């Protein structure tokens, strides 16, 4: 440590230092006065040390400390001594000692902060925290999370470098590369009317690096997506971006799994990984068993397909759902048979908000009969079959969603599954349940546009043995696309890419791109495929989401130093902000509709 201000940090001193003269600098975490003694908890990011001024032993220091309040920055000198018996603080790493101060210097005063820095303040106004983010970042919980994030990033780098990955920085002023969100654009001054896009991901660039022979690339890359903010989304995020050559999907998944496992164990040795190798589900399995393509595997409560059990029930909602390709799915909520009308209404509302037309609920009675709106439509055998299929027991609540679109039924019930998992406290908070979902359907039909669209990345390759069928039945083709989920969040995703130009052109043509349109948007990538592009694939893992999950947070703001609000504002710096007429003129820009400018 620099000797001008300190000989040690505030987290460093132990009983073995007793008798030494030391110098500490830090923030006053708390002050307590006892007659001629004043106790200060001095804090820096390494810890807290108790320092004491004594009016009888060092009057000058005691007087100098007189005006000092919380969050003032001070420097003290003195001798380390044992704390008196009975005052040892086992919770504190430095809790056996204190510093008897003989010189006290105020380095800087502090106004009374707008919130407590030294205490948790549940319910503290988020906008206050964001406006004074530098004070929020000073608080030990947030500081702890920032350190965890730094540890995570450093562990990732070390593991990847040990596995021969090369870090390459790609530019952030690029041409648009689509990831399904809106671009942020930056006007060019020297080429009026033209714009750069901020990368939604370095996708095309990392593929070009594979063509260039870099073999194993990684970057902790910033990605920008102009989309609505949510708990797991900000306008910009950091991704652990990876691309590899001469690999099949299995190779990428194995490499990533090894890194993820090692890093989790290094950063949080106490948190068990639910299963290694990570379980694997196809997209179809994930949807039909968990109603989600990012399933939370910390608890069971799997969806049950009731198609067979209720196939001949004379109930319009069921017959409509089952007439075509639809489904009736159910889950069993153990012990919830006594849910009140209000509780049931909440569940119905939740199901409807997630796309279900309605929610069918029945409770299992002590005599094995079912109670609820559906019951009167059921024969004894049908009741029996439902109970068998769901393993329903007396006291349980059975929830079902029927829909002519089986994904809609599964998706809505999947949300209810999460809700019930939370209400019934079925999720072990410490477990890390990583799961791969692979493969995914390659295309989905976009009814609005009247064409097929990539479900993920337009550069993803089909399963090689399905390639020939691409045009004949696009909806049935799968992409070599893998997603990694953790505790119900999508942690990352990637794919094996198309490395042959003819195939990429075929895929793009299915998605309605003309050859000219493709040239215009993806010219370099298309051309590069004709200059010896190796087979390649990769993945991107969200560093913010991973940090949040490891830090037990449900909003990525809690692991970002300077995040934005829900409406995309930086309250501390005041962004976004208008620019001056001169700047606009220089950029050949005019704001056409002032009313639409958001404040």
Give the binding site for ligand ASP (CB under 6 A): 179, 201, 203, 239, 457, 493-495, 538-540
In the bound state with ligand ASP, the residue whose beta carbon lies nearer, of 179 and 385, is: 179
Q: Minimum distance between the CB of residue 212 and ligand ASP, rounded to whole angstroms?
A: 17
- Asked whether 394 and 336 are in contact (CB, 8 A), the reply is no
Contacts of residue 320, defined as CB under 8 A and 6 or more positions apart, other chains included, come to 326, 402, 404
Q: Minimum distance between the CB of residue 224 and ligand ASP, rounded to whole angstroms?
A: 11
In the bound state with ligand ASP, the residue whose beta carbon lies nearer, of 456 and 513, is: 456
Q: Which residue has the tokens 């007793």?
A: 18
Residue 572 sits at φ, ψ, to 5 deg, of -80, -50
Q: Minimum distance between the CB of residue 473 and ligand ASP, rounded to whole angstroms?
A: 24
Q: What is the per-residue burial (b if ≥16 Cβ within 10 Å, else e) of 408-440?
A: bbbbbbbbbbbbbbeeeebbeeeebbbbbbbbb
In the bound state with ligand ASP, the residue whose beta carbon lies nearer, of 536 and 564, is: 536
Residue number of the CB closest to ligand ASP reads: 201
Beta-ladder partners of 542:
239
Q: Is 356 left (phi over 0), alpha (psi -120 to 50) or beta?
A: beta
In the bound state with ligand ASP, the residue whose beta carbon lies nearer, of 421 and 493, is: 493
Contacts of residue 381, defined as CB under 8 A and 6 or more positions apart, other chains included, come to none
Query: Which ranges of 335-464 does DSSP label H, i.e. alpha helix?
Result: 341-353, 380-390, 406-423
In the bound state with ligand ASP, the residue whose beta carbon lies nearer, of 249 and 301, is: 249
Q: Minimum distance between the CB of residue 287 and ligand ASP, rounded to whole angstroms?
A: 20
In the bound state with ligand ASP, the residue whose beta carbon lies nearer, of 26 and 494, is: 494
Q: Minimum distance between the CB of residue 226 and ligand ASP, rounded to whole angstroms?
A: 15
Give the number of other CB atoms < 10 A from CB of residue 176: 18
Instruction: Measure CA 450 to chain center.
Output: 33
In the bound state with ligand ASP, the residue whose beta carbon lies nearer, of 53 and 245, is: 245
Q: Minimum distance between the CB of residue 26 and ligand ASP, rounded to whole angstroms?
A: 41
**DSSP 3-state assignment of 61?**
helix
Q: Minimum distance between the CB of residue 209 and ligand ASP, rounded to whole angstroms?
A: 12
Q: How far apart are CA 558 and CA 145, in angstroms?
A: 8
In the bound state with ligand ASP, the residue whose beta carbon lies nearer, of 457 and 547, is: 457
Q: Minimum distance between the CB of residue 426 and ligand ASP, rounded to whole angstroms?
A: 30
| Angle separating helix axes 341-353 and 406-423, nearest 10 degrees | 140
- Helix (H) or strand (E) run with residue 453 in it: strand 451-454
Contacts of residue 111, defined as CB under 8 A and 6 or more positions apart, other chains included, come to none
Q: How far apart are CA 104 and CA 23, in angstroms?
A: 10
Q: How far apart are CA 546 and CA 42, in angstroms?
A: 32
Q: Minimum distance between the CB of residue 136 and ligand ASP, rounded to whole angstroms?
A: 29
Q: Which residue has the tokens 């032993």?
A: 57
Contacts of residue 463, defined as CB under 8 A and 6 or more positions apart, other chains included, come to 439, 477, 478, 479, 480
In the bound state with ligand ASP, the residue whose beta carbon lies nearer, of 265 and 444, is: 444
In the bound state with ligand ASP, the residue whose beta carbon lies nearer, of 295 and 537, is: 537
Q: Minimum distance between the CB of residue 459 and ligand ASP, rounded to whole angstroms?
A: 8
Pairing of strands 434-437, 280-281: parallel
**Among 290, 287, 318, CA closest to 303:** 290
Beta-ladder partners of 242:
218, 539
Q: Minimum distance between the CB of residue 518 and ligand ASP, rounded to whole angstroms?
A: 18
For residue 277 the two structure tokens come to 């190798």
Q: What sign for the dihedral angle of Cα 513, 515, 521, 522?
A: positive
Q: What sign for the dihedral angle of Cα 376, 377, 383, 389?
A: negative
For residue 428 the two structure tokens come to 């072990």
In the bound state with ligand ASP, the residue whose beta carbon lies nearer, of 288 and 457, is: 457
Beta-ladder partners of 219:
241
Q: Minimum distance between the CB of residue 551 and ligand ASP, rounded to whole angstroms?
A: 22
In the bound state with ligand ASP, the residue whose beta carbon lies nearer, of 361 and 545, is: 545
């Amino acid at each position: 440590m620099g000797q001008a201000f300190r000989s040690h940090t505030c987290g460093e001193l132990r009983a073995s230092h007793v008798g030494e003269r030391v110098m500490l600098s830090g923030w006053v975490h708390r002050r307590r006065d006892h007659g001629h003694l004043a106790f200060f908890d001095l804090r820096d990011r390494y810890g807290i040390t108790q320092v004491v001024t004594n009016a009888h032993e060092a009057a000058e220091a005691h007087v100098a400390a007189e005006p000092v309040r919380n969050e003032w920055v001070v420097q003290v000198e003195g001798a380390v001594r044992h704390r008196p018996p009975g005052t040892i603080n086992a919770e504190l790493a430095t809790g056996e000692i204190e510093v008897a101060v003989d010189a006290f210097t105020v380095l800087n005063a502090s106004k009374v902060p707008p919130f407590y820095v030294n205490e948790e303040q549940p319910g503290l106004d988020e906008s206050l925290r964001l406006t004074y983010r530098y004070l929020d970042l000073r608080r030990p919980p947030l500081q702890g999370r920032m350190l965890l994030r730094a540890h995570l990033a450093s562990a990732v780098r070390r593991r990847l470098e040990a596995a021969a990955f090369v870090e390459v920085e790609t530019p952030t002023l690029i041409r648009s590369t689509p990831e399904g969100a809106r671009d942020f654009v930056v006007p060019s001054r020297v080429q009026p009317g033209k714009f750069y896009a901020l990368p939604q991901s370095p996708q095309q660039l990392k593929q070009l690096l594979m063509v260039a022979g870099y073999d194993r690339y990684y970057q902790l890359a910033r990605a920008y997506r102009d989309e609505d903010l949510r708990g797991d989304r900000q306008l910009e995020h950091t991704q652990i971006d990876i691309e590899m050559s001469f690999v099949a999907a299995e190779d990428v998944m194995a490499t990533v799994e090894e890194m993820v496992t090692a890093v989790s164990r290094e950063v949080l040795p106490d948190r068990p990984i639910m299963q290694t190798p990570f379980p694997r589900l196809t997209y179809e399995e994930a949807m039909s068993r968990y109603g989600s393509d990012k399933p939370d595997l910390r608890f069971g409560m799997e969806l049950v397909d009731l198609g067979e059990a209720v196939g001949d029930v004379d109930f319009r909602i069921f017959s409509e759902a089952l007439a075509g390709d639809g489904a009736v799915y159910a889950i069993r909520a153990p012990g919830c048979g006594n849910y009140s009308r209000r509780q049931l209404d909440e569940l119905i509302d939740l199901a409807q908000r997630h796309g279900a037309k309605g929610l069918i609920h029945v409770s299992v009675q002590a005599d094995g009969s079912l109670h609820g709106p559906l019951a009167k439509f059921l024969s004894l055998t049908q009741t029996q079959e439902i109970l068998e299929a769901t393993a329903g027991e007396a006291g349980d609540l059975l929830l079902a969603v029927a829909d002519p679109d089986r994904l809609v039924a599964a998706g809505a019930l999947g949300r209810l599954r999460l809700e019930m998992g939370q209400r019934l406290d079925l999720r072990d908070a410490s477990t890390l349940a990583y799961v791969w979902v692979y493969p995914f359907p390659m295309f989905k039909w976009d009814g609005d546009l009247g064409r097929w669209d990539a479900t993920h990345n337009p550069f993803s390759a089909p399963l090689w043995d399905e390639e020939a069928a691409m045009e004949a039945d696009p909806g049935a083709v799968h992409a070599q696309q893998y997603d990694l989920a953790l505790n119900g969040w999508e942690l990352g995703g990637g794919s094996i890419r198309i490395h042959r130009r003819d195939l990429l052109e075929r895929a793009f043509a299915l998605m309605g791109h003309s050859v000219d349109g493709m040239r215009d948007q993806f010219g370099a990538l298309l051309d590069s495929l004709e200059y010896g592009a190796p087979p390649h694939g990769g993945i991107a893992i969200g560093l913010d989401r991973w940090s949040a999950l490891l830090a037990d947070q449900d909003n990525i703001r809690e692991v970002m130093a300077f995040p934005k609000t829900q409406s995309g504002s930086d309250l501390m710096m005041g962004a976004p902000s208008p620019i001056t007429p001169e700047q606009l003129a220089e950029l050949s820009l005019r704001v056409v509709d002032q009313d639409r400018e958001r404040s």
